Amino acid sequence: MKNIIVILFMTFTISLWIAGCGKASETPSAEKDNLELLNVSYDPTREFYAEYNELFCTHWKEESGQDITVTQSHGGSGAQARSVIEGNEADVVTLALAHDITAIEESGLIDNGWKEEFGKDSSPYTSTIIFLVRKGNEKNIKDWDDLIEDGVEVITPNPKTSGGACWNFLAAWAYWEERDHGDEKAVKEHMRRMYENVLVLDTGARGATNTFVENGQGDVLIAWENEAYLSMEEYPDQYEIVTPGTSILAQPSVAVVDQNSKEHGTTELSEAYLEYLYSDEAQRLAGEHYYRPSNEEILKEFSEQFNLDMNLVTIDDFGGWDKVYDTYFEDGAIFDQIYSE
C-alpha cells in the first residue's frame, strides 16, 4: 500500500500541466479575481486539454471579465479516480470511463445524477480502440486473431489501473465472443493467449504508447484511436493504423467534483468549464485532436479522418459498467483469472 501511495503521489506531482489567463492563486475562492481550477484527467488527453484550457480561459474572460488558471493532472484513469478519493482536490474530472467517476460518486465527493448533468451522458467526445503497427506491418496484423499468433509482441496497459485498457479488453472480448458464438471457455482461451503475448502492462495508456513508440518495444499497440493518430502525426512514415473488424465505442466521461468545487468556490466555473466542451469551437478542437465529437454534425466534418462505418459494440451490450467490473475487473474476476494463467 505504501508503494502504491508513493506512485500515485509521484504521478500526480510530475504530471501537472498549467494553462491559464492569469497568475495562480494559492487559495481559490469566489471572491478572488483569479480562480484556479484543477482538472484531473487521464493519460491521452494532455494535448487536447492544454489547448482547450486556453480556449476556455479566453471564453471565460470575455464572458465574466475574470482571469482564471486551469491546472491539469494526468495518469491512468483508475489511478486518477483513486487519487481524487484519497485527497487530490479536483474541481472537475475528465476520465476514461463512467465507472471511475461512479467510484468518486460513491465516496461522497460527487452528487448523484452526474451522468445527466451534461449532454450525451456527460460524454462530450468519444473514441474507439484500434491497432498501431510499425511501417510495413511485418507481422501482417489485420485483426484480433493475429494478436494471439506465436511471436507477435503486444503492448497494452493494465485494466486494473487504466480505463483505456478496460476498453481494449472489452473490444477484444466482443470480437472473440462473436467469433466463438458465445462459448466463454473458448473466448477466455483466446484472451489468455493474447495477454500471454503482452510484453509490458503499463499503468496507463500514454505509458503504453511510450513503450511502443519511444522505447521501440512490441509489434502492435492496442490503442485509443486518438493516441494512434497522434503517434502517426509525431512520427510520419514510421507507423500504420489497422482497424480491427470489431471494436467498441469508448465514451470518456466528465463530472464536477461537487464537494471540492463547493469548498473552493468554483462550482459555477467548473460547470461552465465542462459545458463549454460541447460548444462548436471545443467540438472541432476535439476532432482536431483525433477525438470523435459528440455533435453529429461536427463529427461529419471529420468523416475523412475517422472510419465512421466501424462495427462498434457499446458498454450497454455488456450490461453496463457495474456488471462489467464485477464480471471482468474486480479482484479474482475474469481478467485476473486469465492473467494468472
Sequential pLDDT tens for the chain (341 residues): 434 433 444 444 334 555 545 433 333 334 456 789 999 999 999 999 999 999 999 999 999 999 999 999 999 999 999 999 999 999 999 999 999 999 999 999 999 999 999 999 999 999 999 999 999 999 999 999 999 999 999 999 999 999 999 999 999 999 999 999 999 999 999 999 999 999 999 999 999 999 999 999 999 999 999 999 999 999 989 999 999 999 999 999 999 999 999 999 999 999 999 999 999 999 999 999 999 999 999 999 999 999 999 999 999 999 999 999 999 999 999 999 999 98
CA distance 264 to 165: 33
Helices (H), the chain: 2-14, 46-64, 77-85, 98-106, 119-122, 163-179, 184-196, 205-213, 225-234, 258-264, 267-275, 280-288, 296-300, 321-324, 334-340
Closest CA to 310 of 149, 126, 154, 95: 126
CA distance 296 to 286: 13
All residues at 6 or more sequence positions from 225 whose CB lies less than 8 Å from its CB, including other chains: 127, 128, 129, 130, 290, 292, 306
Which whole-number Å values give the CA distances from 101 to 1, 79, 91, in the listed order?
22, 12, 13
- Which pLDDT score is estimated for 341? 83
- Which pLDDT score is estimated for 21? 55
- Which pLDDT score is estimated for 101? 98
Q: C-alpha 280: how far from its chain's center?
A: 21
Q: What grid cell was written down for 53?
A: 484550457
- Which pLDDT score is estimated for 11? 43
- Which pLDDT score is estimated for 1? 43
CA distance 21 to 266: 16
All residues at 6 or more sequence positions from 302 whose CB lies less than 8 Å from its CB, including other chains: 287, 292, 293
What is the DSSP annotation of 248-288? E-B--EEEE-HHHHHHHT-HHHHHHHHHGGGSHHHHHHHHH
All residues at 6 or more sequence positions from 325 whose CB lies less than 8 Å from its CB, including other chains: 99, 333
